[in-house]
Amino acid sequence: MEDIKGDKIPGERPRWEPKLDFTPRQIYDEMSRFVIGQERAVRTIAIAAYNHIKRIIHPNDLLKKSNVLMVGPTGSGKTHIARTLAGALNVPFTVTNATDYTEAGYYGKDVEVMVAELLFATGGDVRAAERGIIFIDEIDKIARRSGGQRTGASGRDIGGEGVQQAILKLLEANRVFVPLNVTQHWNKHDFVPMEVGNILFICAGTFSDMKRGRDRGDIGFLGESADDKSTYPVAVRDLESYGLLAELLGRLPVIVELDPLTDDELMHIVTDPPDSLLREYQAMFEYEQITIEMCDDGLRAIAAKARERGTGARGLRAMFEEMFHDLAFTAPERMGENVVVDADFVNANLVEAKKPRRREAED
C-alpha cells in the first residue's frame, strides 16, 4: 500500500487488488449471488464494468468511458447493485448524494469532495482510489428547474443545473486537485492531484414522476388512452425533458433500468443471498439455541406486506425488526425453542404502521 504521498508503507499487504481478469459472465455470476432479479440491469452493469476494465488495461482513444445512469423505483437495488459491483471487482466504492453539492463557490460541497471521499475510503491509497467507483445518488433531484421555481442568489440554479455542470466537468476531467481535509473543507490548502479518468461513475435516481414516451409521437388521442406510459423504456429524450443536461447524459452512455421487485423476488431476497435477512436473524438467536423456521406462507405474507408499503426491499429490514421484537426481548428466557414463522406469526407481529416510519438509513 502507498500512502497519499506515494511512499510505500513497509510490511502492509495491498488491500485493493482489483480483479482485472473477469469476463462479463463472471462479473454477472458473482453479482447474482447477492442481487435477486434485475437480470438485464446486472448484465448491462457487468458489460460496462468489463469495458471499463478493458479501457484501463488497454487504453484506446476509441473506447469511451462507460459511466452508468441507473433509473429505478426506491428499494429496487440501485445502491445495492453498485455496491455489489465494487465488491465483486474489489475496488473502492463511495456513495454520495447529488443534493449535497453546489456549484463551485457557493455554500455546499464542491464536487471534488466526491473524489476525496473515495480516497478516504481507501485510507489514502491514491492508486486504488483512481480505479474506484463513485455512486452519485439522487441525480434526479438536481434536474434543471423551470424559471419560476428557481431558488438561490439572483435566480441562478446553483443547486440544480449548476451542480450538473460541475459533475459534468468532473466526468470530463483527467486530473483534479482533491481536498484532503474533507471535514473542514473551508480549510482549502491541502490538495492531492489525482487522475480521475479511470474512476467509474454510477449515477442513480428514481425519476418517479418522469414522463416516458413524450415527443415520440406516441401521445395523441390513441396514445392518451393507451397503456400506462411507465411501460416505455427510458429514452435519453425523457431524461432531457425531465431536466438533465444533454451534455451530462452524453457522459452517462449506459442507461440501466430497474424494475419494481415482484413478490417472488422479495421472497428470494429474504432467504437467498449469503448475507440475507433470514440468515442474519437465524445467527442472531444461535446463542440462545433458538431456531427460526421460515414457512412458505410466512415468506409470502412478508413479501405482500413489503409490496404494500411500496418501499421495495428497503422495507424488509424494518419489518424483520418489528417481527422479531418480542423474541429479541425474551430470547434468553426461551432457550432452545423452535420459532415457526408462518402467515399467522407475520400477521400477529407486524402491526400495520400507525405512525410514519423513519426512512431506513442508507446502509
HSE (side-chain half, CA atoms, 13 Å) at 296: 1
Q: How far is the CB of 56 from Mg ion (least distance, A)?
A: 26
All three cell numbers of 280, joined, read: 442474519
Question: Per CB under 6 A, which of residues 311..340 are in contact with ligand ATP?
Answer: 313-314
Which of ligand ATP, Mg ion, none has residue 74 at its interface (CB below 5 to 8 Å by kind)?
Answer: ligand ATP
Extended strands (E) in the chain: 68-71, 93-97, 133-137, 175-179, 191-195, 200-205, 254-257, 291-294, 338-341
Q: Pick one of 44, 79, 122, 165: the residue that binds ligand ATP (CB under 6 A).
A: 79
Nearest residue to the partner Mg ion, using Cβ = 79
- Residue whose CB is less far from ligand ATP, 75 or 162: 75
Of 37, 132, 159, 298, the residue at the interface with ligand ATP (CB under 6 A) is 37
Q: Smallest distance from the beta carbon of 70 to ligand ATP, in angstroms?
A: 8
What residue number has its CB nearest to ligand ATP?
77
Q: What span, in angstroms and rounded, lies between the C-alpha atoms of 160 and 103?
A: 8
Total number of residues that touch ligand ATP (CB under 6 A) = 18
Q: Give me the sign of the Cα torsion angle 20, 24, 29, 32.
A: positive
CB-wise, 22 or 201, nearer to Mg ion?
Answer: 201
94 binds ligand ATP (CB under 6 A): no
Which residues have CB under 8 Å from 36's CB, separation 6+?
A: 77, 261, 265, 268, 269, 272, 273
Binding to ligand ATP, residues 155-214 (CB under 6 A): 206
Task: Decide: 100 and 337 in contact? Cβ < 8 Å.
Answer: no
What single letter denotes the amino acid at residue 20? Answer: L
Task: Select from 49, 269, 290, 319 the one that contacts ligand ATP (CB under 6 A).
Answer: 269
Contacts of Mg ion in 28-87 (CB under 5 A): 78-79
Task: Give the binding range for ligand ATP (CB under 6 A) out of 75-83, 208-216, 285-293, 340-348.
Answer: 75-83
Which of Mg ion, ligand ATP, none does 132 bind, CB closer than 5 to 8 A by kind?
none
Pick the closer one to ligand ATP by CB: 12 or 39: 39
Choose among Mg ion, ligand ATP, none what residue 306 binds, the Cβ cut-off being 5 to 8 Å by kind: none
CB burial string 333-344: b at 16+ within 10 A, e below = eeeebebebbbe
Chain position carrying cell 423513519: 358
37 versus 159: smaller Cβ distance to ligand ATP: 37
Q: 103 is written with which cell numbers?
A: 456549484
Q: Are 360 and 316 in contact (CB under 8 A)?
A: no
- Evaluate whether 31 touches 84 at the Cβ level (below 8 Å): yes
| 67 versus 79: smaller Cβ distance to Mg ion | 79
Contact of 48 with 66, CB cutoff 8 Å = yes
| Nearest residue (CB) to Mg ion, 65 versus 78 | 78
Look at the block and give the residue holding cell 469532495.
113
206 binds, among Mg ion, ligand ATP, none (CB under 5 to 8 A by kind): ligand ATP
Q: Which residues contact 141 (CB under 8 A, 6 or more apart)?
A: 98, 99, 205
Minimum distance of ligand ATP from residue 203's CB (angstroms): 12
Closest CB 54 distance from Mg ion, rounded Å:
28
Binder of residue 102, out of Mg ion, ligand ATP, none (CB less than 5 to 8 A by kind): none
| Alpha carbon distances (Å) from 49 to 3, 52, 122, 123, 251 | 26, 5, 20, 23, 15
Closest CB to ligand ATP among residues 352, 363 = 363
CB atoms within 10 A of CB 317: 14
Of the residues 1, 36, 91, 278, which one makes contact with ligand ATP according to CB under 6 A = 36
Interacting residues toward ligand ATP by CB under 6 A: 35-38, 72, 74-80, 206, 269, 273, 313-314, 363
Interacting residues toward Mg ion by CB under 5 A: 78-79
